[in-house]
């Protein structure tokens, strides 16, 4: 592409028709590139970036968090590294855009390992723009010489129709979100039980039924030889689900350790040289459920009702939880229309 596109010029990307709406021409050290706002027949907009006459990129807004000081990113499982960065100057513009001639913006672009995806950040005086894009092969794009100014009435109708769809989505999406949360809560309501049940380190021994509300406690024998190892293994298995770690006698594991989640309680104790884990719904305990080894009942209830955290394991849980959060933390990426 040797000449700039014109307003209302028709282009096709993957056989979808677009009209050129606005344009910003950037310059940096004699290097020039163009960002075009293009709109399809339904009124949806994207940004077409053209560099070096025949390099094409399509961008859409990105709303995720990103720290531009990071040199490497992982977004949605895709690794990125810094491609280029600098300060660009607005050389010219077309249409209704929020820029001025000679206005500057700092930018940083990240490219994926496969060289097909881009994360872009543009920092302007009045805000930051983030966007995600992909490289478009030249055979996917066709630029015509046709200028087609849209019918104003039809154009407005398309916009209204999109607004109606957005309003419907605003109603439906929260409802779906509630349903999803409900389903997630169902499957995540017993993380302690699921972790222990599916872990070969724990051998199922028996179940005890509460006669009041028919809730059950399940008893497992740990493969670890100490309470300490067992408690830390459970914490490491579900760190973000642990809400409290308590004992019946302050800061000691001599008479067992209680592990709490939102809805569950597990009691870890040592009997005849073996470590046992009794796990149940909290309602089992509240309604007078018994322990497998009756000797431990007072300590079981003591750990359940204790308001004192076991400092050693609570600190261990806090550390494990933070490491888990850090391992999940991903960053995110801008283009310059609508800043």
**Domain residue limits at 156:** 151-188
Tens of pLDDT, residue by residue over 271-296, are: 999 999 999 999 999 988 889 998 88
Please give the pLDDT value at position 334. 44
DSSP-assigned letters across all residues of 3-61: S---TTEEEEETTEEEEEEEEEEEEETTEEEEEEEEEETTS-EEEEEEETTTEEEEEEE
Least confident of 74-83, 172-181, 251-260, 279-288: 172-181
* Model confidence at 168: pLDDT above 70: no
Same domain, residue pair 156 and 253: no
Same domain, residue pair 244 and 200: yes
* Model confidence at 240: pLDDT above 80: yes
Say if 334 falls within a structural domain: no
Say if 284 falls within a structural domain: yes
Same domain, residue pair 126 and 205: no
Domain boundary among 150, 176, 199: 150
Say if 335 falls within a structural domain: no
> How many domains is the chain partitioned into structurally?
3
Please compute the mean of the pLDDT values over residues 251-263 and round it to a whole number. 87
Tens of pLDDT, residue by residue over 103-157, are: 999 999 999 999 999 999 999 987 889 999 999 999 999 999 999 987 655 555 5
Say if 67 falls within a structural domain: yes
Please give the pLDDT value at position 181. 53
Higher pLDDT, 3 or 65: 65
Domain boundary among 150, 173, 206: 150
Exposed, middle or buried, 125 (CB in 10 Å: 0-12/13-18/19+)?
exposed
pTM over 0.85: no
Say if 3 falls within a structural domain: no
Going by pLDDT thresholds of 50, 70 and 90, the confidence category of residue 236 is very high
Same domain, residue pair 224 and 136: no
């Amino acid at each position: 592409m040797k000449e700039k596109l014109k307003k209302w010029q028709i282009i096709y990307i993957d056989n979808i028709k677009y009209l050129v709406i606005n344009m910003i021409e950037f310059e940096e050290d004699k290097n020039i590139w163009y960002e075009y706002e293009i709109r399809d027949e339904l009124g949806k907009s994207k940004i077409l970036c053209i560099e070096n006459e025949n390099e094409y990129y399509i961008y859409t807004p990105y709303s995720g968090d990103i720290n531009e000081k990071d040199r490497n990113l992982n977004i949605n499982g895709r690794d990125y590294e810094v491609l280029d960065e600098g300060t660009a100057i607005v050389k010219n513009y077309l249409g209704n855009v929020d820029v001025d001639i000679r206005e500057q913006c700092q930018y940083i672009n990240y490219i994926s390992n496969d060289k097909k995806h881009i994360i872009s950040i543009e920092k302007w005086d009045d805000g930051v723009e983030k966007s995600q894009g992909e490289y478009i092969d030249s055979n996917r794009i066709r630029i015509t010489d046709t200028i087609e100014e849209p019918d104003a009435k039809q154009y407005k109708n398309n916009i209204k129709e999109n607004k109606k769809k957005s309003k419907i989505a605003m109603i439906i999406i929260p409802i779906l979100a509630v349903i999803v949360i409900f389903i997630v809560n169902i499957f995540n309501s017993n993380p302690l039980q699921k972790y222990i049940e599916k872990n070969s380190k724990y051998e199922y021994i028996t179940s005890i039924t509460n006669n009041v509300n028919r809730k059950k406690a399940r008893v497992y024998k740990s493969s670890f030889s100490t309470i300490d190892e067992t408690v830390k293994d459970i914490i490491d298995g579900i760190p973000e689900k642990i809400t409290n770690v308590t004992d019946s006698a302050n800061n000691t594991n001599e008479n067992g350790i209680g592990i709490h989640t939102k809805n569950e309680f597990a009691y870890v104790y040592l009997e005849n040289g073996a470590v046992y884990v009794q796990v149940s719904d909290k309602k089992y305990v509240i309604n007078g459920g018994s322990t497998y080894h009756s000797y431990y009942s007072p300590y079981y209830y003591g750990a359940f009702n204790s308001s004192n955290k076991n400092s050693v394991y609570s600190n261990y849980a806090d550390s494990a939880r933070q490491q888990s959060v850090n391992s999940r933390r991903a960053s995110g990426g801008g283009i310059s229309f609508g800043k």
